[in-house]
């Protein structure tokens, strides 16, 4: 009886392994959730819904966008970091993904590299340094000269303390050796609105946030943070051309999975996303919010940009002594 019992146990064990392998090979066999760590309506939400619609077609399963806003993206990001990692819960990450850990050292319960696996780099967008169109400040170097002549008298707005636009302002001050007066707003739109009204002297933001006022002739762009001039604004020099070094920084959006997600599931998702990002509809919807396709969108490209940003923003936050209450 013992040999028979062992045979049955072995058969059952083999059966379980085969069933498990079959179930695993069947990924996905249920809806996939993309967590957006912001409220509906913003660029990250628009991008998530754009790729979600097409990813559903490629995977053959519904893709649900799940908005989990709060604490500058911390709540939604931590939610995904704590997921079991089976390929059914993903994160739409952007620049704050690399900023928040340095800002919220006590509260951030995730490691941007250890707790996540990169799936795809979805898009990039540079930031611009704007002034009011009637401003006497004619160039980035002119702003530098005025700020050095009278430290702390030139004001620069941002979308809020610890935001990308705030850190870009701090990076500008570090790299140009100037001291500007930072004016934080509750969002980039409020900052550029006051800039157009002449309430502040300058502000960093994306063209998507400033487009309407820029097109209306209310704002003037002094420089752009990309490596090369942008085709939509060929008259705007890069910061390198404008004489301010180390300002080649872009906003980015990427798709992440929890680190425990099986490698073959990660590969399936990466392959699916390559197809999604090549569709005309996704390209059009990304362009509508001022986001361009990256030169390379594979997982390694996303991992590289995350590593670089983690180092950059930690250094800026430390040197500028930025603290969030």
Average the pLDDT over 117-141 and give the result.
Answer: 97
Q: Six-digit token pair at 247? A: 């300002």
Total tally of structural domains belonging to the chain? 2
Does one domain contain both 131 and 120? no
Does one domain contain both 192 and 255? no
Does one domain contain both 216 and 139? yes
The whole domain housing 76 covers 30-125+251-320
Does one domain contain both 135 and 201? yes
Q: Is residue 236 part of a domain?
A: no
Kindly state the DSSP code that residue 292 receives in the 8-state scheme.
B
Does one domain contain both 98 and 138? no
Q: Is residue 10 part of a domain?
A: no
Does one domain contain both 268 and 202? no
pLDDT tens per residue, range 46-86? 999 999 999 999 999 999 999 999 988 999 999 999 998 99
Does one domain contain both 114 and 137? no
Q: Is residue 69 part of a domain?
A: yes
DSSP string, 153-195: -SEEEESSTTSHHHHHHHHHHHHHT---EEEE-SSHHHHHHHH
Q: Six-digit token pair at 53? A: 């619609």
pLDDT tens per residue, range 308-325? 999 999 999 999 999 886
Does one domain contain both 211 and 258? no
pLDDT tens per residue, range 22-51? 444 589 999 999 999 999 988 899 999 999
Q: Let me know: does 207 contact 290? Beta carbons within 8 Å.
A: yes
Q: Is residue 232 part of a domain?
A: no
pLDDT tens per residue, range 152-207? 999 999 999 999 999 999 999 999 999 999 999 988 889 999 999 999 999 999 99
Q: What is the 3-state secondary structure (H, E, C) of 296-313?
A: CCCHHHHHHHHHHHHHHH
Q: How far is CA 280 from the centre of its chain?
A: 22
Does one domain contain both 149 and 195? yes
pLDDT at 271: 98
Does one domain contain both 193 and 274? no
DSSP string, 193-226: HHHHTTSSSEEEEEHHHHHHHHHTTSEEEEEESS
Q: Is residue 64 part of a domain?
A: yes
Q: Is residue 131 part of a domain?
A: yes
φ/ψ of 88, rounded to 5, equals -105, -5
């Amino acid at each position: 009886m013992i040999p028979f019992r062992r045979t049955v146990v072995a058969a059952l064990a083999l059966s379980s392994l085969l069933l498990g392998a079959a179930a695993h090979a069947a990924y996905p066999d249920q809806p996939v959730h993309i967590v957006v760590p912001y409220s509906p309506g913003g660029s990250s939400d628009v991008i998530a819904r754009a790729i979600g619609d097409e990813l559903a077609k490629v995977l053959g399963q519904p893709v649900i966008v799940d908005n989990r806003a709060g604490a500058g993206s911390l709540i939604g990001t931590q939610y995904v970091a704590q997921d079991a990692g089976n390929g059914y819960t993903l994160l739409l990450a952007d620049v704050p993904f690399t900023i928040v850990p340095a800002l919220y050292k006590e509260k951030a319960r995730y490691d941007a590299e250890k707790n996540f696996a990169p799936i795809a780099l979805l898009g990039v967008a540079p930031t611009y340094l704007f002034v009011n169109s009637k401003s006497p400040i004619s160039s980035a170097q002119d702003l530098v000269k005025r700020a050095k002549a009278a430290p702390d008298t030139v004001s620069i707005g941002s979308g809020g303390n610890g935001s990308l636009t705030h850190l870009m302002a701090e990076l500008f001050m570090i790299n140009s050796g100037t001291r500007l007066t930072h004016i934080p707003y509750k969002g980039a739109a409020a900052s550029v609105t006051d800039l157009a009204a002449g309430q502040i002297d300058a502000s960093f933001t994306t063209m998507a946030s400033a487009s309407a006022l820029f097109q209306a002739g209310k704002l003037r762009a002094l420089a752009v943070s990309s490596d090369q001039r942008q085709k939509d604004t060929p008259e705007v020099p890069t910061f390198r051309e404008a004489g301010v070094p180390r300002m080649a920084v872009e906003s980015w959006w990427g798709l992440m999975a929890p680190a425990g997600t099986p490698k073959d599931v990660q590969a399936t998702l990466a392959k699916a996303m390559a197809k999604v990002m090549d569709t005309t509809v996704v390209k059009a919807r990304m362009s509508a919010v001022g986001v361009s396709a990256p030169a390379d969108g594979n997982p390694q490209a996303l991992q590289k940009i995350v590593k670089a940003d983690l180092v950059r923003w930690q250094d800026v936050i430390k040197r500028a002594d930025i603290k969030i209450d």
